[in-house]
Structure 1
Amino acid sequence: MTETIWQGLYITCMALGALLFIAWSRQPRGVPASEYLIATAIPVWSGLAYLGLLLGQGTVEVDGQTTYYARYIDWAVTTPLLLTSLALTAMFRQAKKNYTLIGALIFSDLVMIGSGLVADLSTGSARTVWFLCGVVAFLIVLSLIWGPVRALAAASGADLKGVYDRSAGFLSVLWVAYPTIWALGPSGIGALSQPIETALFVIVPVLSKVGFSIVDLAGLRGLRAVEGRRTAAV
């Protein structure tokens, strides 16, 4: 498929995802409205970023390669929202949220995204240096997800920990794909062609944005349903 078709497909998936989360919010099943708002905002913002690409905007040529800076505009907003959503899942049963931990996640994530953008706009060894900075920031994000944030979920019960582990595992695997695609694509060693990179940067984000929110919200909705049945039985 052509790049335009992939971008149009992506926008369609984002629109459908947003409509799904709006529909779910009408029957929240005990999940806070803020969770549905975040889940809806992610595909709306991301779809708008890709609309810019579809209209021929959001790109610049650097060292003979096309840098899609619209993707970074997308990621700078959607990835902090995804991490916030994951952290709120871990804190689902806590009246007082740990905003310091959420802030640490977001800051590390923005360092990762910013380093990736600078790497894409750099040439020579500077590109490698900035890419490695982004990788370090990414490892910090992963350490927070699977360390202190996961501990909060575990402290609230095995059932919530199960929901968190599924959501965190789903997101982590897909996020590992991002720097891998970048490194193998035209911005890295060039093992992947531009059309293949474009396709992967449609498939993976659809799964990591809409797919993650479906997994996460479905888990929380199911959790509330089980709690409701237990309460009714008592």
Structure 2
Amino acid sequence: MSWLTNTVIQPSNTAQQLKYSLIRREPTVTMAEHLHARNDALKTNGFTFNGISTQINITPRGSDWYFTVCAVMTVSSIVFVGMGLRKPRTHRVFHYITASITMVAAIAYFTMGANLGWAPTEVEFHRRDHEVAGNYREIFYVRYIDWFITTPLLLMDLLLTAGMPWPTVLYVILVDEIMIVTGLVGALVTTSYKWGYFTIGCVALVYIVYQLAWEARIHANHVGPDVGRVFLWCGSLTAVVWILYPIAWGVCEGGNLISPDSEAVFYGILDIIAKPVFGAILLFGHRNIDPARLGLRIRDVNERIVPEGPNVKPGQQRNAGNVNAPEGSTSA
């Protein structure tokens, strides 16, 4: 019986391990920590460019935010293209323009999330706050490449909705390109001369806002109340949001007042409103508007050119209703 007593009284190693496992809790890993651990973009691509290292740069949180905005832009692009596929090919111009805006933005935000597309720039103002302390700040020039492509498309969405003349559309786009280029040059300049470029960009912005608030609004109301209403929604949204961009530039690239992570959130929120939100409102408003009313008559493959009539099918004659008209003649 001694062997039985020893077996009952002395716990086995397995029982002891079970007891210890119940007492000692293994550390749990949240989903956010898991995703954070998987994002090694900053470690992979680093903060050194052409032998210059930045001290003021994004953290993994900023990188995660950039990837989040990239996902928003990507989903928006898919939705906008899908909405366009439900329309005739002659009615997809605004869907394709709007989807192109978010497509380009998605690529730009992926690049920034991967910590690419930036240049080290010496700051004009040196701060004591540890988040913006240092000599070199990370400036994402890819953001300006995005704007150089997408802001003209945004203006085309608005100005074509208003039925503006093509010379005016092209001139406003030129002024917009000046605004973006001066913003980029100012961001990369290390001296106080950057504020000269900033001023030029602000003057260009004032002209663009004037065109949206006055000239284009009058044209849109002349086309029809439904067109005027859509333009009022989208034009007002664009004017208000675009006015906030110089403020963001002033506290980020210009004044070095807020950290690159805060810069990412500031610009990211503005871009989400200015692109996916803007696009959703615009396309919803265009759902019952024929582009031909806006001077955007587009001929499909089974239609004749405009002199024969906009909706004449092959084999039909424009004067088919005049039975007495000789072949090849035209009615008065």
Query: Does the pair score TM above 0.5?
Result: yes
1:10-21 pair list within 5 angstroms: 10-21=69-80
Percent identity over the alignment?
A: 26
Residue 44 of structure 1, aligned match among 103, 112, 123? 103
1:216-227 pair list within 5 angstroms: 216-222=282-288
Q: Does structure 2 conserve the Cα–Cα contact (< 8 Å) formed by 1:101 and 1:149?
A: no
Distance 1:180 1:222 in 2: 37
Q: 1:51, CA displacement in angstroms?
A: 1.8
Match of 1:161 in 2: 228
What is the aligned residue count?
219
Distance 1:159 1:120 in 2: 41
Distance 2:211 2:249 in 1: 23
Match of 1:8 in 2: 67
Match of 1:58 in 2: 117
Distance 1:138 1:21 in 2: 27
Q: 1:44, CA displacement in angstroms?
A: 0.8
Task: Give the partner amino acid of 1:65.
Answer: R
Distance 2:239 2:90 in 1: 23
Residue 77 of structure 1, aligned match among 122, 130, 149? 149
Q: 1:222, CA displacement in angstroms?
A: 5.0
Larger Rg: 2
Task: Give the partner amino acid of 1:134.
Answer: G
Report Cα offsets for 1:143-168 as digits up to 9, x if no partner: 11122222210111222211111110
Report Cα offsets for 1:76-102 as digits up to 9, x if no partner: 0000000001111112xxxxx611111
Q: 1:6, CA displacement in angstroms?
A: 0.7
Task: Give the partner amino acid of 1:212.
Answer: F
Match of 2:250 in 1: 183
Report Cα offsets for 1:111-152 as digits up to 9, x if no partner: 000000010011222111111111001111111112222221
The alignment's TM-score, normalised by the length of structure 1, stands at 0.88
Q: Does structure 1 conserve the Cα–Cα contact (< 8 Å) formed by 2:119 and 2:141?
A: yes
Q: Does structure 2 conserve the Cα–Cα contact (< 8 Å) formed by 1:31 and 1:221?
A: no
The alignment's TM-score, normalised by the length of structure 2, stands at 0.63
1:1-234 pair list within 5 angstroms: 2-28=61-87, 32-63=91-122, 64-91=136-163, 98-185=165-252, 187-222=253-288
Task: Give the partner amino acid of 2:287.
Answer: R
Distance 1:177 1:29 in 2: 37
Task: Give the partner amino acid of 2:111.
Answer: G
Give the 3 Å change call, closer, same or farther, for CA 170–75 of structure 1 in structure 2: same
Distance 1:203 1:183 in 2: 16
Structure 2 gap ranges (5+): 1-59, 123-135, 291-332
Report Cα offsets for 1:22-81 as digits up to 9, x if no partner: 111122389821111101111111111222222332100111121110000100000000
Task: Give the partner amino acid of 2:143.
Answer: R
Q: Does structure 2 conserve the Cα–Cα contact (< 8 Å) formed by 1:43 and 1:209?
A: yes
Give the secondary-structure state (helix, strand or coil) at the position aligned to 2:193.
Answer: helix
Give the secondary-structure state (helix, strand or coil) at the position aligned to 1:66.
Answer: strand
Q: Does structure 2 conserve the Cα–Cα contact (< 8 Å) formed by 1:2 and 1:195?
A: yes
Q: 1:177, CA displacement in angstroms?
A: 1.5
* Runs of 4+ in structure 1 over 3 Å off: none
Which is bigger in relative contact order (C-alpha 8 A, separation at least 6)?
Answer: 1
